[in-house]
């Protein structure tokens, strides 16, 4: 796989909806944010319809689906979410673990322990022509299980690495980075498409973009936070630049 291959950027607009919901009104509109992100060079839009609907609402998903860009629908593996996904028919679904008490998706899916439960969701979504990815820890065991249940794509959880950097735990950050590197290399050996995301900022996105196996990054919170200071289009544009620098393109 050539390292010159472009990395797609999926912009996650969940936290635009978080801000809107803080006042219970109509703005800021995540669909308007999605349009701005696409105008600034994003390749697709990502949104997570959580079971508690704390940010993205069902109607947002429908409207995001109407945009002329790939929609990556993040969802828990539940019957209710599967029904919604099969109605909306997004370009892609990313299966994620979900706990009501967490602030964000804290860890990867337990694919090893949950393979029998997850396999039918993967199969059904693929049958509907939807690309399926599994959001996993960068572990060889999780990758092997993802392959076994025939998921064509995995998204490596970069949260532990990014958090270690944020709190200045250098050794832990280095160990997490090495784990991500090994996992990305393993995706190539297994023939899985490799994505990554969670907690990325300009610097960490630049660094991880250097892994030749990665073809897509999904980034949300940092872009929306940065938008408060420089605007969403500028924030996305700078991210596109950081990713191309990292890739050496």
Contacting residue, 199, 204, 227, 242, with ligand PXP by CB under 6 A: 199
DSSP alpha helix (H) spans, 29-110: 30-39, 58-65, 79-88
Residue 153 is a binding residue for ligand PXP (CB under 6 A): no
195 in active site: no
Q: Is 219 in the site for ligand PXP (CB under 6 A)?
A: yes
Contact 181, 188 (CB under 8 A): no
Among 220, 236, 239, 242, binds ligand PXP (CB under 6 A): 220
Which of 187, 222, 236, 246 binds ligand PXP (CB under 6 A)? It is: 222
154 near 146, Cβ under 8 Å? Answer: yes
Which residue matches tokens 């950050």?
173
Distance CA 136, CA 243 (A): 22
Report if residue 139 touches ligand PXP, rule: CB under 6 A: no
Closest separation in Å from C-beta 107 to ligand PXP? 10
Alpha helices in 66-101 (DSSP H): 79-88
132-148 burial string, b = 16+ CB within 10 Å, else e? bbbbbbbbeebbebbbe
157 is catalytic: no
Does position 104 bind ligand PXP by CB under 6 A? yes
Indicate whether 9 belongs to the interface with ligand PXP (CB under 6 A).
no
Q: Which of 198, 216, 226, 233 is the catalytic position?
A: 198
Least Å distance, CB 121 to ligand PXP, is: 15
Do 219 and 12 form a contact (C-beta atoms < 8 A)? yes
Cβ distance to ligand PXP smaller for residue 31 or 200: 200
Within 116-135, the residues that bind ligand PXP by CB under 6 A are 135
Per 3-state DSSP, what percentage of the chain is helix, strand, and coil (rounded to 5)?
Answer: 50, 15, 35
Q: State the residues that interact with ligand PXP by CB under 6 A.
A: 12, 14, 48, 74, 94, 96, 104-105, 135, 155, 197-200, 218-222
Q: Return the active site residues.
A: 48, 74, 198
């Amino acid at each position: 796989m050539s390292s010159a291959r472009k990395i797609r950027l999926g912009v996650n607009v969940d936290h635009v909806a978080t801000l809107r919901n803080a006042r219970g009104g109509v703005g800021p509109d995540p669909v308007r944010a999605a349009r701005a992100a696409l105008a600034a060079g994003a390749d697709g839009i990502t949104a997570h319809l959580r079971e508690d609907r704390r940010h993205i609402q069902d109607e947002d998903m429908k409207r995001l689906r109407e945009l002329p860009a790939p929609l990556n629908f993040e969802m828990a593996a539940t019957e209710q979410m599967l029904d919604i996904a099969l109605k909306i028919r997004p370009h892609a679904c990313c299966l994620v673990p979900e706990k009501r008490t967490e602030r964000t998706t804290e860890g990867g899916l337990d694919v090893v322990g949950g393979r029998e439960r997850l396999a039918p969701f993967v199969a059904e979504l693929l049958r509907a022509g939807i690309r399926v990815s599994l959001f996993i820890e960068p572990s060889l065991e999780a990758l092997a299980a993802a392959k076994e249940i025939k998921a064509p794509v995995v998204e490596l959880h970069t949260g532990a690495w990014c958090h270690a950097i944020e709190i200045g735990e250098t050794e832990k950050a280095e160990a997490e980075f090495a784990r991500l590197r090994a996992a990305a290399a393993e995706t190539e050996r297994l023939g899985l498409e490799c994505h990554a995301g969670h907690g990325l900022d300009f610097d960490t996105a630049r660094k991880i973009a250097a892994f030749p196996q990665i073809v897509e990054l999904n980034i949300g919170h940092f872009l929306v936070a940065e938008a408060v200071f420089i605007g969403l289009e500028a924030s996305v544009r700078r991210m596109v630049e950081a990713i191309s620098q990292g890739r050496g393109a």
